[in-house]
């Protein structure tokens, strides 16, 4: 088990900056998810930690050691890949045993470690099979087992669940969480799926365009997204974002939408909005904080129903406000129709305000 520290880590491929000045610390025993859209630099960051590619600049520390220039084999890490990378001709036992045989450990020690790992992952009954005789979920468990027997300081996992079907992913999600809990392992886990990150990780590192946007617990990232990118990336359905002008009306501060509606602000929100650059702001709200009205209400924002999606215990609707889509969740008993005129009431205590130019949260 070890702490992992990234200091101003940078990776350039010619003019492409795959990773730019990324710094964060993963504490002992912490599960950190690197998350972001395709091409944001998460796999490159993981490969830099693993030592599979050299840094352009910066420093990486694992445990007490600076590992920036060490080979992967000397970093005390184990990787679990998306494609499992199992040896097809070896039995499960020998797949698990192989890294230990390479380290010239005794037959007894190998046997014990393999059987202990198999027990943790519930694959003892599969030890004599070959990978092709296993389901995707079982292969994934063997890949985890192969990392586990090495007893590394840090587990690095690159989209380990992405080859599994939706149901198995959910199941393996909780298995990896238990794996982390039981071993108290330090895990750095790459995923493009924000839900995987939110449900599994102690902390998430949200990346975009090679830069670390926010590094915090999932709860804090969800409650206080640092900018509009993080706000719209974390949470499903996404946070709705509406560009607005900050204006004064009747002595108070209001937000004015592109179609002319105005939304009076509470004192706290007025103060935040007044900090926006050139009076341009973005109003953000999560679906569960919005209330739908069928008639005009002072302070409620007019919109038009675009689509309605009943899911059983909750109905999601998309409402068009100005040119933006606003996601809202409704009790399934509420029946609304596409193209219907509606009004949306924002919760002043749970709305978000961002700077229209810098995209940063207004504080």
Q: Does 29 bind ligand ATP (CB under 6 A)?
A: no
**Helix (DSSP H) and strand (DSSP E) numbers for the chain:** 9, 20
- Our CB check for ligand ATP shows the closer of 42 and 286 to be 42
Number of residues that bind ligand ATP (CB under 6 A): 12
Q: What is the DSSP string of 114-160?
A: HHHHHHHTT-GGGTTS-GGGS-HHHHHHHHHHHHHTT--SEEEEEST
Task: Give the distance from CA 101 to its chain's centroid.
Answer: 36
Shortest distance (Å) from residue 45 CB to ligand ATP: 7
For residue 189, which of 32, 14, 313 has the smallest C-alpha distance? 32
Stretch that binds ligand ATP, among 42-50, 65-73, 267-275, 282-290 (CB under 6 A): 42-50
Reduce the DSSP state of residue 275 to 3 states and report it. coil
Q: How far apart are CA 138 and CA 111, in angstroms?
A: 20
Element (H, E) at 269: helix 267-274
Shortest distance (Å) from residue 34 CB to ligand ATP: 8
Q: How far apart are CA 127 and CA 25, in angstroms?
A: 37
Contact assessment for residue 139 and residue 80, using Cβ atoms and an 8 Å cutoff? no
Residue ranges in 116-155 that form contacts with ligand ATP under rule CB under 6 A:
none
Shortest distance (Å) from residue 277 CB to ligand ATP: 29
Shortest distance (Å) from residue 159 CB to ligand ATP: 7
For ligand ATP, the binding residue among 4, 9, 22, 40 (CB under 6 A) is: 40
Tokens for 208, please give them.
Answer: 């975009």
Tokens for 219, please give them.
Answer: 């709860």
Q: Does 237 bind ligand ATP (CB under 6 A)?
A: no
Tokens for 263, please give them.
Answer: 């939304």
Cis preceding-peptide flag for 224 (omega within 30 of 0): no
Q: Does 306 bind ligand ATP (CB under 6 A)?
A: no
Q: Does 78 bind ligand ATP (CB under 6 A)?
A: no
Cα dihedral 164→169→175→176 (10° resolution): 80
Query: Binding pattern to ligand ATP, positions 171-210, x when CB under 6 A?
Result: ---------------------x------------------
Stretch that binds ligand ATP, among 32-40, 173-181, 227-235, 237-245 (CB under 6 A): 32-40
For ligand ATP, the binding residue among 20, 33, 41, 62 (CB under 6 A) is: 41
Q: Does 20 bind ligand ATP (CB under 6 A)?
A: no
Tokens for 205, please give them.
Answer: 């590192």
Q: Does 15 bind ligand ATP (CB under 6 A)?
A: no
CA terminus-to-terminus distance, the chain = 38
Q: Does 323 bind ligand ATP (CB under 6 A)?
A: no
Shortest distance (Å) from residue 265 CB to ligand ATP: 37
Q: Does 39 bind ligand ATP (CB under 6 A)?
A: yes
Q: Does 42 bind ligand ATP (CB under 6 A)?
A: yes
Q: Tokens 């909750």 belong to which residue?
A: 314
- Our CB check for ligand ATP shows the closer of 162 and 274 to be 162
Tokens for 136, please give them.
Answer: 């995707």
- Our CB check for ligand ATP shows the closer of 24 and 98 to be 24
Shortest distance (Å) from residue 176 CB to ligand ATP: 18
Q: Tokens 């409620």 belong to which residue?
A: 300
Shortest distance (Å) from residue 82 CB to ligand ATP: 9
Q: How far apart are CA 84 and CA 200, in angstroms?
A: 20
For ligand ATP, the binding residue among 4, 18, 149, 154 (CB under 6 A) is: 18
Shortest distance (Å) from residue 36 CB to ligand ATP: 6
Largest CA distance in the chain: 83
Tokens for 145, please give them.
Answer: 């087992």
In total, the chain counts a number of residues equal to 363
| Residues near ligand ATP (CB under 6 A) | 13, 16, 18, 36, 38-44, 192
């Amino acid at each position: 088990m070890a702490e992992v520290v990234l200091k101003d880590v940078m990776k350039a491929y010619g003019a492409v900056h795959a990773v730019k000045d990324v710094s964060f610390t993963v504490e002992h025993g912490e599960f950190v998810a690197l998350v972001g859209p395709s091409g944001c630099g998460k796999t490159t960051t993981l490969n830099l930690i693993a030592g599979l590619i050299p840094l352009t600049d910066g420093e990486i520390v694992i445990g007490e050691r600076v590992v920036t220039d060490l080979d992967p084999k000397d970093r005390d890490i184990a990787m679990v890949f998306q494609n499992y990378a199992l040896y097809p001709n070896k039995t499960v036992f020998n797949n698990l045993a192989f890294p230990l045989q390479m380290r010239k450990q005794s037959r007894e020690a190998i046997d014990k470690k393999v059987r202990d790992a198999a027990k943790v992952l519930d694959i003892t009954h599969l030890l004599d099979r070959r990978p092709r005789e296993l389901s995707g979920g079982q292969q994934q468990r063997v890949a985890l087992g192969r990392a586990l027997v090495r007893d590394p300081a840090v587990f690095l996992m690159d989209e380990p669940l992405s080859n599994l079907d939706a149901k198995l992913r959910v199941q393996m999600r909780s298995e990896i969480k238990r794996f982390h809990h039981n071993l108290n392992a330090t895990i750095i886990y790459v995923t493009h799926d924000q839900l995987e990150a939110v449900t599994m990780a102690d902390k998430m590192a949200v990346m975009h365009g090679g830069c670390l946007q926010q590094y915090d617990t999932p709860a804090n990232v969800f409650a206080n997204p640092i900018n509009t990118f993080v706000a719209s990336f974390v949470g499903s359905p996404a946070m709705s974002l509406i560009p607005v002008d900050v204006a004064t009306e009747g002595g108070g501060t209001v937000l004015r939408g592109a179609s002319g509606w105005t939304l009076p602000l509470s004192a706290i929100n007025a103060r935040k909005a007044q900090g926006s650059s050139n009076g341009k702001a973005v109003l953000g709200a999560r679906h569960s904080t919005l209330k739908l009205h069928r008639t005009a209400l002072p302070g409620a924002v007019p919109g038009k129903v675009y689509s309605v999606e009943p899911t059983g215990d909750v109905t999601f609707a998309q409402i068009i406000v100005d040119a933006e889509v606003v996601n809202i969740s409704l009790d399934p008993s509420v029946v609304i129709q596409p193209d219907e005129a509606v009004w949306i009431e924002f919760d002043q205590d749970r709305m978000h305000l961002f700077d229209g130019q810098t995209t940063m949260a207004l504080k």
